[in-house]
Chain A
Amino acid sequence: MLALRLLWRNWRSGEVKILAFSLLMAVAIVSGIGVFTDRLENALIKESNSFLGADRIVRGSKPFDPAWHLDADKAGVEHAEVTSFSSMVFAGDDMHLAAVKAVTPGYPLVGNLVVSDVPFSTNVAEQRVAANIPPEGEAWVDSRLLPLLGVKLGDTVFVGEHSLQITRVVISEPDRGDGFSLFGARLLMNAADLPATEVIQPGSRVSYQWLLAAPDAQLKPFLADLELKLTEHQRVVDLESAQRGLSKTLGTGQRFLMLAGVIGVLLAGVAIAISSQRFAARHVDQVALLKSLGAGAWRIRSLYAAQLFLLALFASGAGLVVGELLQRAVAILASQMFNIELALGGAEPYFIGVLTGFVCLLFFALPPLWHLPVVPPLKVLRRDMPVEPLRNGLQALLGVSAVLCLIWIYSGDLRLTGSVSAGLGVIVGLALLGAGVLLNIGRKLAAKKGHIWRLALASLDRRRGQSLVQILVFATAFMLLLTLSTVRTSLIDEWRFQLPEDAPNHFLVNIAPWQVAPIQTLAENNELEISALYPMVRGRIQQINQAEPENKRSEAWRREVNLSWATELPKDNKITDGVWWDQWSPSVPNEWGVSVEKGIAEDLQLNIGDQISFSLGGLELNARVASIRSLNWDSMRPNFYFLFSPGALDGYSPMYLTSLFLPPEKKLFINDLLHEQPTIVVVEMDKVIAQIRTIVERVSAGVEGVLWMVLASGLLVLFAAVNASMDSRMQEAGLLRALGSRRKLILGSVAVEFASLGLFAGVLAVIGTEVLLLGLQAWVFNIPVQPHYELWLLGPLLGAALVGGLGVYSCRKVVTVAPGLVLRELA
């Protein structure tokens, strides 16, 4: 209880306040960011899983065993089935090869099926989320199917032998982006009507999907059991395998949030370390007195340990409350600005928040206090007796261990931990070397200036050790903040760049050579721009190195793949192994080369020099692997797994593929095109792109919110660091004031002193930021590395303004209060 009383008294006297506030902010920021990130992640996972219409999908080319349904029910896993196929839909004399999707009740398990009674509706008020699937005997269709078949809502169409009444139009389906395999306008029907259509016959090309949804705890064990029962034609699909591009964006966003959290922890840790130093310095006399009154070293240690423990407890509790309020405020703001509905977060971030508080206190606050119990009691008689604090090196070592430990706990990501730690190490070394040089330059420059400058720079030089530490702290804080805001800007730009407003959103496939010119004319008449045309031949892999492997699990063995050729390496493609055609030469005359996409090369275990035999409409084509390529699946440009050397596919009557951007108001161009060129297949990606954009916008919004939270903790560090040296500066200023110095001289010299510190720190911070960014961009975020010229101006200026301003603010009392009082308080 004595510890509690001491803590309360210390609190009242203000010494504990900054320490408690730093701790509170550490816990608040870590738990706030953690919970917010968690909620955001859950929301994004939910949102992204809606791309599947489920949490997981089992995909196959044969119907699923009905017994599995019972297993799923038992395991508490929701499920629904989707059967997709292409089929002619008739209405009188009109027909269209539609993408038919027959669904069972419950579809979609995740995400919304949006329908309307108004064809081509763009007005949200006319649209609604479908509560059920189409009733038996009814079909819901893409708006554009209506003019294609010359029908309206309420009319009847035929799918195979069965008639269905069109009752609604489909505005959006969550799983629209799931694969390119089905082209044509959508017709959504009830699976119960399927047998009556008699469309599915032995040998029909049908895709069966079993949609599953449940919390991970139920889903994972169920899937583990299920995997054992799957045939080679069935596999489980998650977002990662279904939407690689989106999954990458989400991953990068998550890594950013983690980095932000790590930086938040570091900043808060530094603030705690600084305020603990001050707390310890102010408590030396108190400890000496307690010892003279008969308190032994262990008593002192236990009294202070108990105070720290209680402080951690209270500050963590308050920190959790503040963090909760903070994250709720950011969440509300984000949901208002960006229309994000955040899911609930788990309890783990709160736990990590409190853990951070205790670890910070243990490693950052305890070392400066460690020497207190060994303060000699004789110090009550001899106040000038030196006290040996724990060696700075050891303190730094403890701090660094804590930092590593916290980053690891927080991120669980070795590369991020390594990058940030290595970056920080380099920066600290640079700062320690560079700050001394900067101080010397400053002093020399000041000698030629007025007395305010001389006074200020002399003061910095006199406190050389303290100034170095302060510059280091300011530089670290600025570096972390500049890094975070730059990474955020690069990421958001990168994401926006990936999907510019006019990114192609429709693919035209199966274009015969003689159709190229008429299509281009039609596009020009509609003021549309058609991108480059890519030749394409469909083929199947037969053998690799004259042999068929035992395991044919790879998709590439089972279905036809699109083959193409190119003279130039397509944009966004990178050769990771082997060489492109300009450097490649066949090992035997007339041999063709093929460049293989990296993922499929790994799947098929292909190496440079391997020979692949393709079957192209019954004709055999052999080619040798000349290179392996990585490519950007997010680009929405046509991408090919296999690119041949020029001329290889000349004899195989290629068809062409192209893409174009179609604004919503020109959507009916597709109908005109299909009327004129009915054999062309149109792949509509506009709805998928809109969904991806929504997710990217939401990740960006989250990133913004977190950035502001971290900036707040950066300010806290600056405040704590400025305040740490205030006592001696106040004393000097009070003395100068007592000797009759004017307000302008005192505040001027304080401003110059702190602005110089900020300026030096800003310069070092920019160097540090560039180094850290180099590592982060290259190894963690995989975004292009580039210099950031704006930082070189912004860093030093912002540093000088912020630190100078905070210095003057903290020191203002000395010119408003009678000097006697200031000196007496600090005596």
Chain B
Amino acid sequence: MIKAHHVSKEVRSAEGKLVILNEVSLSLDKGQSLAITGASGSGKSTLLGLLAGLDLPSSGSITLDGDEITAMDEEGRAAVRARSVGFVFQSFQLLPGLSALENVMMPLELHGVAGARDKAQMFLERVGLAERLQHYPKQLSGGEQQRVAIARAFASEPAILFADEPTGNLDTVTGSKIIDLLFDLNREQGTTLVLVTHEERLASLCECRMQLEAGKVLLTEECA
């Protein structure tokens, strides 16, 4: 489902060339889950961005759901994201002007899915927000906002879900509930899951693990 081959990312800065990711390779089959861990600045979010086709590597190739996204232009990658990818972000990334229901409907409407409203409502009910459909993000707690984000991610039934520190902005108890919800839905839909986290419990729930340090793979635990 995901294949990365010798992926590197370099940026130019005032101090010269800076290597953020160095020769990272990985392979993940359909339905598997991978946790990318590491200290702050180790390159894990960069790797997530590259795997999801949000950015291009300086070298190496990435194949996503059968398409080599590193050989495509931005329009092509957008099409792959539209078809196969969902996201959950640390900062939730809900649109403040839209209600919970409209936030979940957004990707469905964007892809022209019929019955977007019903489907969005169903997913919000599934994440336990049946009573909060018309609430705006600022009227919701952090945990509730992340549930909306999870409903939004799963509503478009992506083949692969990328989650960037999904519990990073939540307290332990809430974070724990979010983790359970994420994995429950993941199992139900058979989604391939790639998540970035520094939380041990979250990482331990994944079948595969990759630990980064200064852009290099420090440790890879083969998928169970």
Contact = CB atoms under 8 A, between A and B. Distances in A.
Which of B78, B85, B111 lies at the interface centre, i.e. has the most chain A CB atoms within 10 A of its CB?
B78
A822 to B, nearest CB: 11
A9 B138 contact: no
B55 A295 contact: no
Interface of chain A: mostly helix, strand, loop or mixed: helix
Given A286-B95, A378-B55, A825-B138, A294 B87 contact: no
Nearest to B84: A294
B191 to A, nearest CB: 16
Contacts of A299: 78, 110
Interface string A36-71: 000000000000000000000000000000000000
B109 A380 contact: no
B142 to A, nearest CB: 11
B93 interface: yes
A13 B78 CA distance: 27
Interface stretch (B21-29, B96-104, B175-183): B96-104
B45 A381 contact: yes
B79 A296 contact: yes
A296 B74 contact: yes
Interface in A366-418: 376-378, 380-383
Contacts of A381: 45, 48-49, 54, 89, 164
Contacts of B111: 294
A571 interface: no
| Chain B interface size, under 10 / 10 to 19 / 20 to 34 / 35 or more | 20 to 34
Nearest to A10: B97
B107 interface: yes
A297 B76 CA distance: 11
A824 B92 CA distance: 14
Given A292-B54, A296-B78, A285 B98 contact: no
Contacts of A292: 52, 54, 81, 87
A299 B54 CA distance: 16
A577 interface: no
Contacts, number: 82
A297 B91 contact: no
B85 A5 contact: no
A271 B79 CA distance: 37
A292 B88 CA distance: 11
Given A294-B111, A296-B75, A377 B97 contact: no
Nearest to A300: B78
A278 B183 CA distance: 40
B102 A9 contact: yes
A383 B92 CA distance: 12
B80 to A, nearest CB: 8
Contact of A297 (B55, B75, B80): B75
B97 A291 contact: no
A2 interface: yes
Given A290-B110, A294-B110, A381-B54, A9 B91 contact: no
A135 interface: no
A5 B89 contact: no
Interface string A281-293: 0000110011111
A12 interface: yes
A297 B75 CA distance: 7
A15 interface: yes
A2 B54 contact: no
Contacts of B80: 294
Which of B48, B97, B102, B164 lies at the interface centre, i.e. has the most chain A CB atoms within 10 A of its CB?
B97
Contacts of B107: 293-294
Interface string A10-31: 1011110000000000000000
Contact of B93 (A5, A285, A825): A285
Contacts of B54: 292, 376-378, 380-381
B97 A2 contact: no
A298 interface: yes
Contact of B95 (A5, A289, A298, A377): A289
A9 B75 CA distance: 26
A294 B65 CA distance: 15
B71 to A, nearest CB: 17
B81 A383 contact: no
Contacts of B110: 2, 290, 293-295, 299
A298 B75 contact: yes
Contact of B81 (A15, A294, A824): A294
B106 interface: yes
Nearest to A16: B97
Contacts of A825: 96, 138
Interface string B135-173: 000100000000000000000100000001000000000
A453 B162 CA distance: 50
Contacts of B198: none
Interface string A313-338: 00000000000000000000000000
A15 B98 CA distance: 12
A377 B76 CA distance: 13
Contacts of B79: 294, 296
A291 to B, nearest CB: 6
B52 to A, nearest CB: 8
Contacts of A290: 106, 110
A12 B87 contact: no
Given A380-B54, A380-B87, A825-B138, A13 B164 contact: no
A299 B111 CA distance: 11
Nearest to B112: A2
Given A13-B97, A294-B110, A381-B54, 4 more contacts: A9-B95, A285-B93, A292-B81, A825-B138
Interface of B: 45, 48-49, 52, 54-55, 74-75, 78-83, 85, 87, 89, 91, 93, 95-98, 102, 106-107, 109-111, 138, 156, 164
Interface of A: 2, 5, 9-10, 12-15, 285-286, 289-299, 376-378, 380-383, 824-825
10 closest A-B pairs by CB: A13-B97, A294-B82, A296-B78, A294-B81, A296-B75, A378-B54, A293-B107, A377-B54, A378-B55, A378-B49
8 contacts: A286-B95, A292-B54, A294-B107, A294-B110, A295-B110, A297-B75, A299-B78, A378-B49
